[in-house]
Amino acid sequence: MNELVVETDGLTKRYGDRLAVDRVSMTVERGEVYGFLGPNGAGKTTTLRMMLGLIRPTAGSARILGQPAGRPDVTARIGALIEGPGFYPYLSGRDNLRTLARYRRLPDTELDRVLELVDLTDRAKDAFKGYSLGMKQRLGVAAAMLGSPDLLVLDEPTNGLDPAGMADMRALVVSLAEAGQTVILSSHILAEVQEICDRVGVISNGRLLRESTVAELRGGATLRLRATPEDAALAIVMRSAGEDGVRRLGDGALEIGLPATAAPRLVKELVGAGVDVHEVTAAERSLEDVFFEMTSTKELVS
């Protein structure tokens, strides 16, 4: 098994009557980009803050690199960008980083390294206040990367960015991951998580509904079929996919729980039985479909 960088066990945070985080047990493996996905108020930030030792859990525990979260030597191995970075507006990007690096007794070469990582070398000498929101956010990532942390935690890193800034941030996360960085990224944007994460934890109302790879979460591919006569087509499809494996879509097409590789055999059977096949396409459920399916189930609402 891969090394676990994060392991939480029944992590819980209560604020008065409100359970902000409810028995969350999750794992993050070394080298992966873990997407922490959930709507606003789901409990993502609170969970991340407990991992960083910024707040104490009401119950349960978090271990980082095998050590209890919150110990200063453990926190020092995590780089985090939570709720926007605080920088001095009149200092340059580089000087802002220098104040942080000095405090941590890191050499100036470290500044050049992290500025290069986030592609801000050319603008490093400009005042922070003149930076675009995307650049400010990238400088925040640079600050989090000072000292080569074992774990990088990014809380909604694309929040407030324009589409170009979002794309830059996603590309940055991908490039860090390619260099072997372990990243936890929280987001309420499903497409974003789908695009850049290896595994996903879906959180709603403080509860971790599911933890899996993006592919598993999407339940693999399905086939969409349009064929006539519809009833004859349905009967044949059910023989292969089972009664629960077929769904009639509003537009008369059938959604079939079979992978694309099943299409040739299915088409042969249909044609052999005198059914006209008008269209067969392989369609993947989006993470968004899956997410709403999960969160709209009654039992999941606490």
Ligand X SMILES: Nc1ncnc2c1ncn2[C@@H]1O[C@H](COP(=O)(O)OP(=O)(O)OP(=O)(O)O)[C@@H](O)[C@H]1O
What's the closest the beta carbon of residue 154 comes to ligand X, in angstroms? 12
Cα separation, 146 vs 28, in Å, equals 21
What residues are paired with 277 via a beta bridge?
227
Contact between 25 and 8 under an 8 Å Cβ cutoff? The reply is: yes
Choice between 12 and 46, CB closer to ligand X: 46
222 binds ligand X (CB under 6 A): no
Distance, in Å, from the CA atom of 115 to the CA atom of 177, rounded to the nearest integer, reads 17
Restricted to residues 91-130, the positions that interact with ligand X (CB under 6 A) are none
Shortest separation between residue 176's beta carbon and ligand X, angstroms: 22
Q: Please state the closest distance from residue 126 (CB atom) to ligand X, in A.
A: 30
Residue 249 DSSP code? -
Residues 13-72 that bind ligand X (CB under 6 A): 15, 18, 20, 38, 40-46
Contact criterion met (CB below 8 Å) for 211 and 199: yes
Question: What b/e string do you get for 60-75 counting C-beta neighbours within 10 Å, with b at 16 or more?
Answer: bbbbbbeeebbeeebb
For residues 115 and 184, which CB has a smaller minimum distance to ligand X in the complex?
A: 184
Q: Count the site residues for ligand X by CB under 6 A.
A: 13
Nearest to ligand X of 43, 201 (CB atom): 43
Q: How far is the CB of 78 from ligand X (least distance, A)?
A: 17
Compute the least distance from the CB of residue 246 to ligand X, in Å. Answer: 36
Report in angstroms the alpha-carbon separations of 47 from 62, 117, 134, 170, 264. Answer: 9, 27, 25, 22, 47
Q: How far is CA 27 from CA 2, 30, 34, 201, in A?
A: 11, 10, 9, 9
* Residue placing its CB nearer to ligand X in the complex, 41 or 245: 41
Is the Cβ of residue 40 or residue 302 nearer to ligand X in the bound state?
40
Residues 173-212 touching ligand X, rule: CB under 6 A, are 188
Return residues touching ligand X (CB under 6 A).
15, 18, 20, 38, 40-46, 156, 188
